[in-house]
Chains A and B, each alone.
Chain A
Amino acid sequence: MTQMGQVKTSVERKSKSWFDEHAPQIRELKFTLYLLRQSPIVVAGFILVALFIGMAIFAPWIAPHGPEERFWNLPQQPPSWRFPFGTDTTGGDIYSRIIWGSRLDLTIALTVVASAILIGSVLGAISGFMGRAFDEALMRVTDVFLAFPALILAMAVAAALGRNLTNLTIALMVVWWPTYARLVRGQVLAEKERLYVDAARAVGASPARIIFRHVLPNSIFPVIVQATLDLGGVILTAAGLSFIGFGAGAGVAEWGLMIADGRSYLFQSPWIACFPGLAILLSSLGLNLIGDGLRDVLDPRLRR
């Protein structure tokens, strides 16, 4: 017990390396992981997500057939051992197409969220530090973007750019960056506050240094939570958009499109639309489970 006290004091005395300086955050992290292991919901989420990522990576080895392999003489076959999820109207094996689809959809989701974080946090950080006019302007801009529901804004942007997968992805980026801009800006402002209060640090701390040393470590958790939740959101929105006619061209193995194709045969061959929908549901459910768990665990108030 007393040693405990000893150790702590000695740490304080040592010259501050990044790790020491962020010892609390690191303890926090260890602790967080421990908590995550505890929560069955999060574990379930991880399993689901792992499953889909696995599908995406190992598609060529798992999928019995190619993404665009069609058995023209076997259209609309009900599920069977040969075609676990049945075949679509052009005799494509839905099971294989779902597996290949995971590649496409997850890629879209990751690209969108990653670039949103990048753009968002850069702009957010800048406006947080520069403050005044730039900050004001950026906030007004985000206001405008946030004045639309995600799907609808994406719809309009994609429509203006022209309908194809690339533009769909771009549209989604356009929609998602403001969230992160605001999030990071908030963190920066908070950090600024702290710095002014604790003058010692403020002395000769360059913005860059502050960002890397203080803002990043502090905003990393909220951003992660937001990102996991958004990944799910993007998957849903992207699917929704390609369901109403944006996105991939005919025949491409993309979940939303597959549902759209199955729609006219819903009553005769329900499996065509049913299974891709399940894929969407489960993948975004996985991400939401994780995100939700993280949020609870990282929320200090829910923690006590």
Chain B
Amino acid sequence: MNVNYYPAFILMCGALMILIQLCFKRSHITSYLISGLSLFLALLTQLFLQNHADTSDVLFVLNAQTSFVSLLLLMVVGLIWAQLYHWLKTINEQKEEYYLLFLFTTIGGLIMVSSNHFASFFLGLELMSLSFIGLIAYCGPDQKAQEAGIKYLILSALASAFILMGAAILYLQFGSLSFSNLMPNTSSQILPPWAIITAIIFIFTGLFFKLSLVPCHLWVADLFEGAPLVTAAMLATLSKLAAFIILWRLVTLGHWQQYPIIIDILSMVAIASMFIGNFLGLLQKNLLRLMAYSSIAHFGYLLIVLLLINNNAIEFSSQSFNTQTLFFYLVAYLFTLVGVFSIFMQLPKIKTLDDLAGLFWHHPVIAITLMLLMLSLAGIPLTLGFMAKFYLVMAAVSQQLWLVLSALVLSSIIGLFYYLRVIMAMLKTPADELKLKEINSSGSSLSLNILILFLVIGFGVFPSSLSQFIQQISG
């Protein structure tokens, strides 16, 4: 068994342990600890595997880049796990099954992230989607969660169907399902050329649904609002990270960039999601829906990375720099997002902007953290978000993608407005004090905020260590 499978394997054992523990005696704390332990061990092995894993077999590609991504994934899940216990206490449901599904989604993510073959990709995708349905519809009586669960079920099934259809056509054309040899210029032209394009479009539909990019973005706001908070956090970070890595691997390994139409589709979708994502969020009152629309916009920005054609001649458009931009942007965006969701977890009763009123004057630490996270999302300097945007602009400018860049500027200005609205809401004089009184800023959440601040602002002001680490990985 290849040493690189150990992290997934450990998580699998963790899940089994929880199952066995369920049979004997239901105790929330033990399942919490088991899942925590398995996650921690998986993280350690992943760290250990970081510097000498470079084998690749049929189903999985296990080089430095994928191990970095799975490391990032595990760290994000670890951060979400840290607040799971407090949040679950407030839910009057069976607690232990949540950890089970939680671990299964992580395993699905790990598989999907390092997959190099349609089979493994499909396996990971389904494992993650189905366990997500469970996570979403977890709270029985809550009608919104039910509705969200049904929507996610139907839509993800539809998306998988599209991806499979695309895979099937490509398999018919190229005879193999692994990503690396989807070379377009084979001798035998089995299917008419438009068939390959339709296959790619079908796969794009499925993946764009997962990434909630513009034409298929309608579901994400309802899911964020309907699903329980932690599930929404997982959806925002885990499923989108895995889907984007797959999209990136498909486009780069499969050299889909030299089809001019793919470049057009990608740039149109990127520009559309930047604008529509930001316009949707403009006057949005519900905080979670706001975060959903901002994630549409951010993945619109990230799509620019796929438009960059690697040629090592120009300084900032070499293969390694494009991957660095991708990873840096993912790290920055995911950490900021996890930070925002952990803040929301600490403010249970607060759902809309008006509830936020006066938070700054009652709980300064939480308010300042949320403020800095909003600035990081907006891309104001001295935050991680700005460094990510700087990488992106450097890469795009060196390839003279002026249309996309102007869209980036205009949409981030529009985006700036609703990030400022959140900050503005916190500064307003509070309408009713009681809602703010109930927030018990306990010790553990304070330390978590400090950690998030360290990640977002620390790396924002001194990004050299992070950028060096990413530079080594992307080779």
Question: A and B, one complex?
Answer: no
Give the A-binding residues of B (Cβ under 8 A).
none
Give the B-binding residues of A (Cβ under 8 A).
none
